[in-house]
Chains A and B, each alone.
Chain A
Amino acid sequence: MSAAPSSTPVVSHLKGLDYSVVQQCMHCGMCLPTCPTYDATKLERHSPRGRIALMRAIADDRLEPTKTFADEMYFCLGCLACMTACPAGVNYAELFEHARAEVESRQLLTSPKRTFIRGFTVKWLFMDHRRLTAVGRAMRLYQELGIQDLVRGSGVMKLFPKRLRELEAMTPKVQSQFSNELIARVTPATGAKRFTVAVLTGCAQDLIFSDVNRDTVEVLAMNGCEVHTPPDQPCCGSLHAHNGEWALAQQLARRMIDVLPPERYDAIITNAGGCGSHLKHYHKLLEGDPAYAERAALWDRKLKDIHEFLVPAGIVSPPPAEGPKVRVTYHESCHLSHGQKVVTQPRQLLNAIPGIELVELPEATWCCGSAGIYNLTQPEMAGQLLERKVKHIRSTGARVVATANPGCLLQVINGCQSAGVSVRVAHPVTLLAEAYRAEAPKAVAAVPA
């Protein structure tokens, strides 16, 4: 986890990028109104068009990569709303990852604190599932033994700076059981088998939302899938790629392909929007590696978001529900809607559940501020976005918010809780699983305390 020695030659990721990608932006400005950071500041530098202009200036040698540039690349949420808006087809995702890689390879933002946090999370914790599980167990213990309540109740936290206090409040509630404790390695199809699929259990997902993984497996089994969930799955590497750690992301992708050989399954299923958006691009990541390039391409073709897989396959209808319908609204994970363009399928899935009345959330595609670890690195902007999201949630009168990404789930839970909006936040697949179990959809429940 030590930083690269300064003698290594600096690779310019932006200059190495195919120039047609850099040049694609024709600076029409059509993306500006959809960019949350531009909307909040009205400054071009904080807009997609401005950011691309800076990247291009570096590629053209008109700008030295500076700390200001680096800060800008980390002020960007990476929400990719600009990609959906851009008629010219600019590949902002690729530009953005290269720009952050440029920042990291030039060590433009090194500070002891940042090096420590990144070293701990990106380079150590999320590189090995066992470490993550171990930390998870420790956190579980901390929460179960009541130490957390003790610490919170004691007022000790008041001694810490405000930022740290907020962080502590954000510590997610670790699940009492992880995926491998909840799910068999192979779950047979209920009824006739139509597909053999693998489910990615994810890292953060597994730790804090392992029940979503269990629900995913149940729902797939109900829909004729034999479901494989191999243990010791690595992190998918999206955190690393989005944070400029290219080589680590490649390493994790290779390991993933080894653990889940794509030729064995009809589909490889992910239920986390953010991971899926990265997982579908392993070929791009490994195209220079002759040993993996071809399998990575096959991997990309097999990889499906759960909604994207289920809806065209035809969803088995749950039993009819009794009692009044529960009002549900749907918040779109950025990387599911902008990154993967999976927009209608989650709504179709929700509409297939008998006990639900689906109402549209105003600005459903506007980022909630979670954005990977953005809520930790840019709390102010993230807080503004969350407030806006919660305001819209409140306006729908919904009692359940469905959203399909662990980061969004956590963020929205935290936001609603601190604003005193009593809604349940759940993955769409969880709602479907409950319907199969013939439970009436829970209205208000289990918001982590």
Chain B
Amino acid sequence: MSLSHSVIERLRSILGSDHVLTAREDLISYSFDGTAALQQLPGVVVLARSTADVVAVLKLATETKTPVVTRGSGTGLSGGSLPSADCIVLCLVKLDRILEVDAANLTLMTESGVTTIQIAEAAAAAGLFYPPDPGSMKISTIGGNVAENSGGLRGLKYGITRNYVMGLEVVLPDGEVLWTGNKCVKDVAGYSLRDLFIGSEGTLGVITRVLLKLLPKPAAKKTLVATYDQMDRAAQTVSDIIAAKIIPCTLEFLDRTTVRCVEDFAKVGLPVDCEAVLLMETDGHPAAVAEEASLMEALARRNGAIEVRVARDEAEANRLAAARRSAFSALARVAPTTILEDATVPRSELARMIRFVEGIARKYSLRIGTFGHMGDGNLHPTFLTDERNKEEMARVHHAFQEIFDEAIRLGGTITGEHGIGVAKKDFLPKFAGDASMRVMRELRRALDPQGILNPGKMFD
């Protein structure tokens, strides 16, 4: 079966033929996202330029029962925008206008295809601050961020995407447009539908506009880099900082393998001869920043840090943060296939989880590089492997299984920020339990009775 000609013809007449792509060369270019080893050709790729375009495409899809896979920039790490066979890929990168920055109410209204960095820059230009900064922020779309409820380097103090979404415009599968939320700080009228769509991974509706909350820009910040000869010591520093009632905005961790790859790429002067690096940042009132930074430095030293370096200025701090953001891609320097994990545990269990992952790597003779948001209990152990080596891939699979089981046992979750998609679909029922699975299935059926939105993702 393939997508019928008449559907493609009708798409052309709705969107104009420039925005309907069917050449094999185009289909190949949209046959994957940022997830390793997943690939599927779609039936057609369309580019929407307005909410009206999205409405028309979804009406047609509903009428013809054609599956629709919504796509932002395709940087997802769980296969969320991986096409299904003969589907319409609905790409939203041309919904690229920021509509309003409201300095009186500290909000920003934008179309969903705008990139995260453009939002951060627009906020900064008005002297304001949009904190969520996923590693992919240079290219990920805000729609993708909302659909995956993405985190970033500042989660510990500022939270994640969900904490900044005040309103959404969503097109439902039948083409009806729904608006949820407003500029009010408080609003308890009815169910919070907004929260339902955050993290829905393109399964409940297509997000076309987002109303975001902004903050005043912190007056000062200080960035520190501490190096250790043991991973445990870095983990202990993090626990001590939190126990000392300091909430830094960033506590990021890189192991030896990751630091080497990152330094090889970014050349920011990270020490390559150590077992662990902690990137720490505190921001806020200058006096508080100074005090917290010196306390953090002292705690790092007390835990045996080999060196603690303070970034000279904002430019150096930004370079360090940018280098950290490149970690995942930089690991690809040393292996053909990099498969990263996203298991998250309560912060108190972090040191235990790190040791467990190390043990698993040894048990299955796998190479890993680990980095992540240590302050959030969210690590990304990344397997450095080769998808052509079937036997090794099987070992990777077993290793995952054990890591997930342990994360759940420690009261954690199978994914902290990358979502279920197809990559973690098999693990969701066990993690969520029967009652949650039933409610999720019924919710999805209620909103998408024909099952046309992102079929096969998250759960069947």
Contact = CB atoms under 8 A, between A and B. Distances in A.
Residue of B23, B28, B31 with most partner-chain A CB within 10 A: B28
Nearest to B118: A33
B136 A28 contact: yes
B313 interface: no
14 contacts: A24-B332, A27-B34, A29-B75, A30-B139, A33-B115, A42-B93, A43-B47, A53-B28, A62-B28, A63-B28, A86-B329, A89-B264, A89-B265, A89-B332
Nearest to A51: B29
Interface in A52-68: 53-54, 57, 62-63, 66, 68
Given A20-B336, A23-B336, A32 B36 contact: no
Contacts of B21: 43, 45
B264 A29 contact: no
B28 A87 contact: no
A72 interface: yes
Interface of B: 21, 23-26, 28-34, 36, 47, 73-75, 93-94, 96, 115, 117, 136, 138-139, 261-262, 264-266, 326-330, 332-333, 336-338
Given A28-B328, A43-B29, A45-B21, 6 more contacts: A30-B138, A43-B21, A45-B26, A87-B261, A87-B326, A87-B332
Nearest to A26: B332
A170 to B, nearest CB: 29
A88 B29 contact: no
B30 A44 contact: yes
Given A20-B336, A33-B115, A87-B330, A28 B34 contact: yes
Contact of B25 (A23, A29, A66): A66
Given A27-B34, A69-B25, A88 B139 contact: no
Interface in A63-95: 63, 66, 68-69, 72, 86-89
A83 to B, nearest CB: 11
A50 interface: yes
B398 to A, nearest CB: 22
A434 B332 CA distance: 47
A266 to B, nearest CB: 27
B135 to A, nearest CB: 9
A401 to B, nearest CB: 25
A160 to B, nearest CB: 30
B137 to A, nearest CB: 10
B319 to A, nearest CB: 14
Contacts of A43: 21, 26, 29, 47
Residue of B36, B47, B328, B329 with most partner-chain A CB within 10 A: B329
A88 B330 CA distance: 4
A32 B74 CA distance: 11
B36 to A, nearest CB: 7
Contacts of A62: 28
B338 A63 contact: no
A43 B25 CA distance: 11
Contacts of A26: 34, 36, 329, 332, 337-338
B30 to A, nearest CB: 6
Contact of B28 (A23, A47, A54): A54
Residue of A29, A66, A87 with most partner-chain B CB within 10 A: A87
A44 B29 contact: yes
A52 to B, nearest CB: 10
Contacts of B32: 27, 53
Residue of A30, A44, A50 with most partner-chain B CB within 10 A: A44
Nearest to A32: B139
Contacts of A53: 28-29, 31-32
B25 A68 contact: yes
A49 B75 CA distance: 11
A135 B328 CA distance: 52
Contacts of A89: 264-265, 330, 332-333
Nearest to A88: B332
Nearest to B339: A26
Contact of A72 (B25, B47, B94, B115): B25
Contacts of A87: 261-262, 265-266, 326-330, 332-333
Contacts of B96: 42
A47 B139 CA distance: 12
Nearest to B264: A89
Contacts of B23: 45, 68
Nearest to B96: A42
Given A28-B329, A62-B28, A88-B330, A44 B115 contact: no
Contacts of A63: 24-25, 28
A50 B32 CA distance: 10
